[in-house]
Structure 1
Amino acid sequence: MNHIANMVLAGLVVFAGMAAPSSQVTLTQASTVTTFKNCTQLNQRYPHGVGRTGAHDRVSGHAKPVTNFAVSNALYAANRKSDSDKDGIACEKR
């Protein structure tokens, strides 16, 4: 199966021309909103985390910020407890 078919089966829709960087996956409001127990569970489905629209990864030192997290205000709100650094991205991971 190709990449686009896999995304459709996962319930994800990517919009071309969105303001989000091209490496981010933007989820539609129709996506199922799930509250995950912890980051391990969330990262199984969203490997780089989930952030709200306009969020930027807060990093220290020379680390590069994560930019390829999934974007969904509703999904982030459901998992806000997992955003330990309060930067608008839950469970960010490179």
Structure 2
Amino acid sequence: MKKILSVIISAGLVIGLSFGYANKTEAAAKPKVYKNCTEINKVYKGGIAKSSKVKNKGGKTKYKPFVSKALYDANRSKDRDKDGIACER
């Protein structure tokens, strides 16, 4: 009886956790599209870089950009100087 009960509880935990994990990965798969640089800079002070190897063309900046290719691709239109960093400050 104990063995059957422990198998049922284990199966329930595995199934429950797998559904919770699937929902989190789907939400993380869609990066947020911001409407302007002011909105981006509220969350990411240094802007969003597509790679850690990109260099800023616009001159000296105060903050280091957050690196995320998916987030950069979703907000590519905010990169006015096309250097690979959107909304750098």
TM-score relative to the length of structure 2: 0.61
Change (3 A) 1:82 1:48: same
Alignment partner of 1:36 is 2:31: no
- Which one has a larger percent helix, Structure 1 or Structure 2? 2
Residue 85 of structure 2 corresponds to: 89
**Is the 8 Å Cα contact of residues 57 and 67 (structure 1) preserved in structure 2?**
no
**1:51–1:90: 8 Å Cα contact kept in structure 2?**
yes
Structure 1 residues without counterparts, runs of 5 or longer: 1-29
Preserved CA contact (<8 Å) 2:61 2:88: no
Q: Aligned residues, how many? A: 61
One-letter amino acid of the counterpart of residue 51, structure 1:
A
| Gap runs ≥5 in structure 2 | 1-27
Q: SS at 1:47's partner residue? A: coil
RMSD, matched Cα: 1.9
Question: Which among 43, 46, 51 is matched to residue 45 of structure 1?
Answer: 43
Structure 1: 4+ residue segments shifted above 2 A: 63-67
How far the C-alpha of 1:32 sits from its partner, in A, is 6.0
Aligned to 1:57: 56
Larger Rg: 2
Matched AA of 1:89? I
